[in-house]
Amino acid sequence: MCKCEARTHQFLLELPKCEHHLHIEGSLSPSLLFRLAKTNNIALPSTEKDESFASPEALEARYERFVSLNDFLDYYFIAMSVLITSSDFESLAYEYFTRAHKDGVHHAEIFFDPQAHTSRGVAYSTVVGGLVAGQERAERDYGLTSKLILCFLRNLPVESADSTYKEAHALGHFSNGTVAGIGLDSSEVGFPPELFREVYESAAAAGIRRTAHAGEEGDHTYVSRALDICKTERIDHGIRLVDDEALLKRVANDKTLVTLCPLSNVRLRCVTKVAELPVRKFLDEGVRFSINSDDPAYFGGYILDNYCAVQESFNLSLKDWKFIAEGSIEGSWCNEGRKKVLLEKVEAWALAWKEMS
């Protein structure tokens, strides 16, 4: 739990936030996982095979001992097998939005992994139908706006990404705004961005937004290849950018948004502690970045916990936080009108907390 002093915690809680790096399947908590497994009659791995599946508490404890991205992904893909109906996806999304709203999120752009569902017989339209229903409820109940980002699993054959992309196209999901953009996730090392060049080129030509996980476990060349070959507009994680000074300056100049996930990077051992992340370096170099939770049910915290962890390690000023908040809004994929409203909220917050400067 967060160790922030009460006033600092309130200051960060009230800061109007955008979240850009949240895998909706990664918000499936062990308790919901066990409940849905029962309701949907899904067998979890036997405890002879893996004793972590003995109870939600045992699973929570296992999540504290991930040794790598792939170690985490093994659990992530097993867990999501309990999601079957549209209403499961709707509840998952609505519960995430409810939590995000409590943490001061006003706009969220969330990833989903259609191939992980279609490959086990759950239709693409079931997944998206449920998520959209959750988005609509959250906007109605909390005024929280959101977008969907369709992610391709980079460890699966490129043909599978192509057919998923075509299915979303055929349903008009890109042209009607149901899905705002594409992303690339799952095991990074050995699956470089250029494998997906064609699908990214097609998306760019059709004016579809593009992002990709790069420089999480992979080195800085994964970032440059995502930008140069796949023409991504955003970089998810991107912590290895610090290993190439020219690339870092280019990202700063181009105002490319980097979506940092501090608690995730510690849990997956990309760094040993939050203080090792390039937060100060990004601020000093003018890199636009947001702070995000990635897979909050697995990594020990939602977005506010990530903000608090950054504050504990870097002791940022009001000016620094305002820069982060404004960059998060400007790097979002919402329209100019919505950006203006969000920027005004940040101005009002800065005025209310001016004694923190």
19 is catalytic: no
Whole-angstrom Cα distance, residue 126 to residue 124? 5
> Of these partners, Zn ion, ligand ADE, none, which one is at the site of residue 26 (CB under 5 to 8 Å by kind)?
ligand ADE
List Cβ neighbours of 197 (8 Å cut-off, separation of 6 or more). 229, 230
213 labeled binding residue:
yes
Q: Does 213 engage in binding with ligand ADE (CB under 6 A)? A: yes
101 labeled binding residue:
no
Which range touches Zn ion (CB under 5 A), out of 69-77, 131-139, 199-207, 291-299?
291-299
- Min. distance of Cβ 131 from ligand ADE in angstroms? 16
Q: Does 288 engage in binding with ligand ADE (CB under 6 A)? A: no
Q: Does 216 engage in binding with ligand ADE (CB under 6 A)? A: yes
Q: Which is nearer to Zn ion, 90 or 236 (CB)?
A: 236
Taking CB atoms, the residue at the shortest distance from Zn ion is 294
Structure-block tokens of residue 213: 């996980």
220 labeled binding residue:
no
- Min. distance of Cβ 334 from ligand ADE in angstroms? 23
List Cβ neighbours of 309 (8 Å cut-off, separation of 6 or more). 2, 262, 263, 274, 301
Q: Does 264 engage in binding with ligand ADE (CB under 6 A)? A: yes
Which range touches Zn ion (CB under 5 A), out of 92-100, 164-172, 248-256, 294-302?
294-302
> Using CB under 6 A, which of 17, 23, 147, 345 touches ligand ADE?
23
Whole-angstrom Cα distance, residue 163 to residue 161? 6
Q: Which among 195, 235, 184 has a CA at the least distance from the CA of 244?
A: 235
What b-and-e string marks burial along 156-172, b requiring 16 or more CB atoms within 10 Å of the CB? beeeebeebbebbbeee
Structure-block tokens of residue 104: 């001061």
- Min. distance of Cβ 264 from ligand ADE in angstroms? 5
> Using CB under 5 A, which of 294, 297, 298, 332 touches Zn ion?
294
> Using CB under 6 A, which of 103, 109, 295, 305 touches ligand ADE?
295
Q: Which among 236, 352, 285, 295 has a CA at the least distance from the CA of 26?
A: 295
List Cβ neighbours of 148 (8 Å cut-off, separation of 6 or more). 109, 110, 112, 128, 131, 132, 135, 178, 179, 180
Q: Does 25 engage in binding with Zn ion (CB under 5 A)? A: no
113 labeled binding residue:
no
Residue type, 39: T
- Min. distance of Cβ 335 from ligand ADE in angstroms? 28
Structure-block tokens of residue 208: 């579809």
> Of these partners, ligand ADE, Zn ion, none, which one is at the site of residue 186 (CB under 5 to 8 Å by kind)?
ligand ADE
> Using CB under 6 A, which of 24, 294, 302, 322 touches ligand ADE?
294
Give the total of residues touching ligand ADE (CB under 6 A): 11
- Min. distance of Cβ 116 from ligand ADE in angstroms? 9
Task: Give the bridge partners for 22, in sequence order.
Answer: 294
Counts for the chain of helices (H) and strands (E), in that order? 17, 8
Give the total of residues touching Zn ion (CB under 5 A): 1
Q: Which is nearer to ligand ADE, 115 or 146 (CB)?
A: 115
Q: Does 259 engage in binding with ligand ADE (CB under 6 A)? A: no
Rg (alpha carbons) of the chain, rounded to whole number: 19
Helices (H), the chain: 6-14, 30-39, 56-63, 69-79, 86-102, 114-118, 124-142, 158-170, 197-205, 220-228, 245-253, 262-267, 279-285, 296-299, 303-314, 318-330, 336-352
List of residues contacting ligand ADE (CB under 6 A) = 23, 26, 69, 76, 185-186, 213, 216, 264, 294-295
List of residues contacting Zn ion (CB under 5 A) = 294
Annotated binding site: 21, 23, 213, 294-295
Annotated binding site for Zn(2+): 21, 23, 213, 294
Q: What are the catalytic residues?
A: 216
